Structure 1
Amino acid sequence: MSLPKEETSEHLDQKWWKEATIYEIYPASFKDSNADGIGDIPGIISKLDYLHDLGVDVIHICPHYQSPQVDMGYDISDYEKIHAPYGTVEDVQSLIDGAHAKEMKIIFDLVINHSSNLHPWFLASRSSKEKDNEKRDWYFWLPPKIDEQGNRHPPNNWRSHFSVPAWTWDETRQEYYLHVYAPEMPDLNWENEETRNAIYNSSMIFWLDRGIDGFRIDTVNKYSKDISFPDAKVTEPGEETQPAAKHYNHGPRIHEFLGEMKGIFQRYGAMTVGELSHLPRSEKSVLEFVSADSGPLDMVFNLNIGSLGRGGSKGQKNELAPPPPFEVELFVKEMSRWQDFVSNNPDAWITLYLENHDSPRSISRFGATPDSSLDIQFRSGKMLAMALATLTGTLFLYQGQEIGMSNVPRLWPPEELKDIRSKNLYELAKERCKGDEQCLEKAVDALWETARDHARLPMQWDGEHGPNSGFTSEGVVPWMRVNDDWEEKNVKNQKEDQDSLLEFWKLMIKLRREYKNLFIYGGYELVETDEKEVFVFFKIGERLKSLTVVNMSSEEKRWQGAKSTLGENYELLIRNVESARLEDDVLVAWEGRVYLKRF
């Protein structure tokens, strides 16, 4: 499978991070090396060969810094230390060096909108508001509003992301502090230049000096806020707090702050990918973040893909209402929008992903249902792999995606869920339903559709060592229960099966690399079909043209056929249903094909 030498893609600037396959690791759930039930850094090191064999170019490590773990490490109490159950700074250095020795790069999570309330900076800030306290305004502090009866109230009506007011009263300072997430995660005051410099030195330069290759930047558009702190518009009458994202996203100084960060990234040659929450609908607004000429970032995640089929997760008025069902039409529209974005803006770039640590599993969302046979589930996983790997953008995989890990079974009790958001919503459901079991059941069903816990179950390594599946030692209670399907879905089984989803992902990554000028850098063109659940698109290079067709449904579908779409002299490059009849215009359930035509 070699490319014709004359194929080029001169209209797009080729970079290593554009061509990379990036694999996200959630440290607590990847591999436990010391039998304490919690994944750790030495466990990751022990699986570097596995990652290299998969075809991974870059490892993304989720937060592993010192933390009380209120939000699984996104509440950091020291950027320069490691969460003790995960290991030490020396272990992390061994991981960095070990990845580099295998010609893989490594990026860390950069969580700098907020810190833990146990970070020394916050402890100093809350200790006194007097002028002699140099950190008094490193966070946002405001006095209370006092009503006519003399009662104390928060400064405004903003709501946090975790269904609580965005302000918490502090007895020591006798003021409220802002937190757009949990009360234990106070927002840092980026308006203060000293604060920003401390953030840069402690969270960025410290690790770049140790050799990491870049960052996945958490909540990258929240650092600048409307510091007049107005009340949010009342969109939910009768509720004390209101959604306020417009006041703490895309603030007036956001590009100034990111510009300062860009100077550091450029000095080290670091790659950056931002979590751009509340993704702007305007292409121009997104381009301001990712333009190679003027933008501060290399790329951002399209979080609209992450929200498809799970509208209750963010922004929905009632987070306990059932989310809208997944619609293939919306998936195709969103994917096409950002493929066209690169075509229209050649100095911009995008990401390709279907899973991360905050979202349910892709097979459970976009593929076959859990009650389908294992073969059908894996077929739908291969179909998704074909669609993703033949599109333009940097490819991101999440741990376990390559073996088809699924969502938490609905039969598990809600008490099995560990995430702060899930716990808060479950408590909210019990409060609202007040003993009405039918009401509570419906609310928990809705919570199950959107829970972040689905992605956080331990990695399933083998089917031979009991229900811990090789994640930790037999007899050890893991921090979170392993999924019930561990005997069927695990790495060992799939490494021994050439027709497995794992081996299929290896092949798609290899094809993507071999045909990079076509799949990664080639032009995109959507092919309209009469079937709403069939996604068909061209990728166009100088002397090659591919056609990807995937049936994203459990039913047989008809389409135009390759012959009528490509004409004569094409070849079938890969498909996921070897045993099915190959009718040109008929696709069986979850079938995918990639055709190739040379010119």
Structure 2
Amino acid sequence: MSREAPWWKNATIYQIYPASYKDSNGDGIGDIPGIHSKLDYIHDLGVDAIWLCPMYDSPQYDMGYDIRDYEKVYEPYGTVADVEALVAACHERGMKILLDLVINHTSHLHPWFLESKSSKTSAKRDWYIWRPAKYDADGKRQPPNNWRSVFGGSAWEWDEESQEYYLHLFAIQQPDLNWENPMMRAAVYESAMEFWLRKGIDGFRVDTVNMYSKEQSLTDAPVIDSRLEWQPAFSMYCNGPRIHEFLGEMSQILTKYNAMTVGELPHTPEIADVLAYVSEKESQLSMVFQFDIVDIGFGNVRYNTVPRDWTLPLLRERVASTQVLMDGTTDGWSTTFLENHDQARSISRWGSEETPELWARSAKMLAVLVASLSGTLFVYQGQEIGMVNAPAEWDISEYKDLDSLNYYKFVQDLSGNDPAAMGAAKSALAHLARDHARMPMQWDGTPNAGFTTPEAKPWMRVHDNYPELNAKRQALDPKSVLSFWRELLRIRKVHPQVFAEGIFVDTDPLNESVFVFEKQDIRQKLVVALNFTSDTQSVNLTSRLGSTSHKVLLQNSGGNSLDSLEAYEARIYLVDL
């Protein structure tokens, strides 16, 4: 890694979901002082920065992604002063801190929207996207187009007071901002960005970064599923005509503060389109999240699928597609991750929970996979101790996420509450729901897993396995998943040229059981061998290692044969060239 390279290129960033991390005052909700109290644990993990999911003032219809005031903190989480103290404490430990930047939409209770909806002649009317109704042949009022909200139903909501529809790509309570309006953009830059940049934060994770520019005709989306009244419309509002102009404006502000950005970039499958966002010469975003890997197994509607609907060749193909930006032919950069607040737990998706031994080994195997790929590494809270999905037998009443509950109701309405359809919906949610990542962090074996006081009622149920699976227990075990992650992150930092920057080569893309890949640098290469099954599998590592000097950097079992890998075994070899 050259000395001139920015800090984030060889970094590991730890994502925190404030409501579920650590409750400091016994009200059952995680908070900023709770995060502050765990900074030494985070620092000891070996990460370089933390990223906080939204902690802003919000009515919490969508867990803080509906912001009422960018310059205030959600009261149960703490105060602006608490965030300032957290920023200072991170910097004292040599860590950076990122906040979530949510600027495609606001809360319907934001003062801007309240003023916008007050009258068609309001000075802020054009700060949001308003359109008149359409009328069908029977004279019935209809929305302006057939777009489906990400959370289900029409993406348009009728406002009786001002007699028009407003656009909401997400929840009804999340009206979309109109980025065509320069005064609105200036207000966003000041209130959502510079207010916090002046307080010393080091950058932003940028929510839905490719949705700000909409094609102004707002025509109907193509009919993908004729059973649905409202159609998925990603092609109509992602990567719109002025998106790069808007990001260029934002970049001028970020540059003043030397702030980094990581953009959430869904529905952008072509690498040339991704590069337009992260090309160094374009100076828009530092990096993006591509969703090729984590979107495996989703149907045309997110949960319209069955559990574990994937094959290893498909996973390998998706891994390869995320590595192209770092193959030495572009000036772009990207990320490597398997979990975040919108994804189910990786072990429950691609690993094993059959036995404690296979759980631990598969957790370590998946850690090796994600940490051996090029790009900036992101680790989600609880991933470092191998947290898993909620038990399948939990009732739907334990699910809190708007997306999950909307999907369950959608299937109810579509099927007439058919038992088979509802069972399939529940099974899909038990596998892929966002709720699984949002369960409280498991700190120890005391009641409520040490997330909150034993007497408190957590905002969301703690996983039943916390007496056995918790951070305190693993910190004392040198062979634990947590100890493995600590060593893995240490090794990754020592060898940045092959870990963070190496060129990815898949050695056998069609193999359905074993994933062996190489990461190449000029002088060295990694050979990474992963068994994705619960059976011993044959491999030919001799041909990959050659006769040159090599050593095992890390492995998750005691196997040493070059001809086989044990169940869920993972090894990382460093080879001199």
TM-score interval, normalised by the smaller of the two chains: over 0.9
Distance 2:147 2:321 in 1: 32
Q: What is the one-letter code of the residue matched to 1:336?
A: A
Distance 1:245 1:326 in 2: 23
Matched, 1:230 2:219: yes
Give the aligned partner of residue 6 of structure 1.
none
* Aligned-partner SS, 1:410: coil
For the aligned residue pairs, the C-alpha RMSD in angstroms reads 1.6
Matched, 1:551 2:531: yes
* Aligned-partner SS, 2:327: helix
Distance 1:352 1:135 in 2: 40
Distance 2:575 2:5 in 1: 23
Q: Which of 510, 513, 536 is equivalent to 2:516?
A: 536
TM-score w.r.t. length of structure 2: 0.97
Give the aligned partner of residue 131 of structure 2.
142
Instruction: Identify which range, 237-246 or 95-104, moves more after superposition.
Output: 237-246
**How far did residue 561 of structure 1 move?**
2.0
Matched, 1:289 2:267: no
The answer on whether the counterparts of 1:529 and 1:560 sit within 8 Å (CA) in structure 2 is no
Matched, 1:84 2:72: no
Distance 2:517 2:49 in 1: 28
**How far did residue 241 of structure 1 move?**
1.3
Structure 1 segment 126-141 matched on structure 2, within 5 A: 126-130=117-121, 133-141=122-130
* Aligned-partner SS, 1:304: coil
The answer on whether the counterparts of 1:462 and 1:493 sit within 8 Å (CA) in structure 2 is yes
* Aligned-partner SS, 2:293: helix
The answer on whether the counterparts of 1:60 and 1:106 sit within 8 Å (CA) in structure 2 is yes
Q: What is the one-letter code of the residue matched to 2:356?
A: L
Give the aligned partner of residue 303 of structure 1.
291
**How far did residue 58 of structure 1 move?**
0.6
**How far did residue 62 of structure 1 move?**
0.1
Structure 1 segment 380-399 matched on structure 2, within 5 A: 380-399=362-381
* Aligned-partner SS, 1:106: strand
Give the aligned partner of residue 180 of structure 2.
191
CA gap of 1:351–1:530, structure 2 versus 1, over 3 A, is: closer
Distance 1:447 1:317 in 2: 12
Distance 2:455 2:351 in 1: 34
**How far did residue 318 of structure 1 move?**
7.9
**How far did residue 549 of structure 1 move?**
0.7
Q: Which of 379, 382, 395 is equivalent to 2:361?
A: 379
The answer on whether the counterparts of 1:574 and 1:595 sit within 8 Å (CA) in structure 2 is yes
CA gap of 1:69–1:519, structure 2 versus 1, over 3 A, is: same
Matched, 1:42 2:33: yes
Q: Which of 40, 56, 59 is equivalent to 1:68?
A: 59
CA deviation vs aligned residue, 1:334-377 (integer Å, no higher than 9, x gap)? 21223233214341111000000000001111111x3x111211
Structure 1 segment 79-228 matched on structure 2, within 5 A: 79-130=70-121, 133-228=122-217
CA gap of 1:69–1:597, structure 2 versus 1, over 3 A, is: same
Matched, 1:57 2:39: no
The answer on whether the counterparts of 1:45 and 1:98 sit within 8 Å (CA) in structure 2 is yes
Distance 2:228 2:108 in 1: 27
Distance 2:459 2:7 in 1: 36
The answer on whether the counterparts of 1:288 and 1:295 sit within 8 Å (CA) in structure 2 is no
The answer on whether the counterparts of 2:292 and 2:321 sit within 8 Å (CA) in structure 1 is no
Matched, 1:477 2:469: no
* Aligned-partner SS, 2:126: coil
**How far did residue 238 of structure 1 move?**
4.2
The number of equivalent residue pairs is 577
**How far did residue 16 of structure 1 move?**
0.7
Distance 2:270 2:25 in 1: 49
CA gap of 1:245–1:33, structure 2 versus 1, over 3 A, is: same
Q: What is the one-letter code of the residue matched to 1:243?
A: P
Give the aligned partner of residue 251 of structure 1.
240
CA deviation vs aligned residue, 1:266-292 (integer Å, no higher than 9, x gap)? 11100000000102x322111100001
Q: Which of 351, 367, 379 is equivalent to 2:351?
A: 367
Distance 1:323 1:13 in 2: 45
Q: What is the one-letter code of the residue matched to 2:196?
A: W
Distance 1:390 1:328 in 2: 17
**How far did residue 486 of structure 1 move?**
0.4
The answer on whether the counterparts of 1:563 and 1:584 sit within 8 Å (CA) in structure 2 is no
Q: What is the one-letter code of the residue matched to 2:505?
A: E
Matched, 1:594 2:572: yes
CA deviation vs aligned residue, 1:246-275 (integer Å, no higher than 9, x gap)? 111111000000000010111110000000
* Aligned-partner SS, 1:306: coil
Distance 1:331 1:65 in 2: 36
The answer on whether the counterparts of 1:530 and 1:559 sit within 8 Å (CA) in structure 2 is no
**How far did residue 577 of structure 1 move?**
0.4
Q: What are structure 1's unaligned runs of at least 5 residues?
A: 1-8
* Aligned-partner SS, 1:22: strand
**How far did residue 452 of structure 1 move?**
0.4
Q: What is the one-letter code of the residue matched to 2:113?
A: F
* Aligned-partner SS, 1:536: strand
* Aligned-partner SS, 2:450: coil
**How far did residue 385 of structure 1 move?**
1.4
TM-score w.r.t. length of structure 1: 0.94
Distance 1:356 1:159 in 2: 24
CA gap of 1:564–1:297, structure 2 versus 1, over 3 A, is: closer
Q: What is the one-letter code of the residue matched to 1:76?
A: I
The answer on whether the counterparts of 1:93 and 1:210 sit within 8 Å (CA) in structure 2 is yes
The answer on whether the counterparts of 2:312 and 2:511 sit within 8 Å (CA) in structure 1 is no
Matched, 1:348 2:332: yes
**How far did residue 90 of structure 1 move?**
0.5
Q: What is the one-letter code of the residue matched to 1:422?
A: S
CA gap of 1:530–1:319, structure 2 versus 1, over 3 A, is: closer
CA gap of 1:260–1:170, structure 2 versus 1, over 3 A, is: same
Distance 2:452 2:401 in 1: 21
* Aligned-partner SS, 1:376: helix
CA deviation vs aligned residue, 1:107-153 (integer Å, no higher than 9, x gap)? 000000000000000000000012xx210111011111122332211
Instruction: Identify which range, 137-146 or 353-362, moves more after superposition.
Output: 137-146
* Aligned-partner SS, 2:370: helix
**How far did residue 568 of structure 1 move?**
4.2
CA deviation vs aligned residue, 1:303-354 (integer Å, no higher than 9, x gap)? 1112112x13xxx158444366122112211212232332143411110000
The answer on whether the counterparts of 1:328 and 1:533 sit within 8 Å (CA) in structure 2 is yes
Distance 1:334 1:152 in 2: 43
Q: What are structure 2's unaligned runs of at least 5 residues?
A: none
CA deviation vs aligned residue, 1:94-114 (integer Å, no higher than 9, x gap)? 011111111100000000000
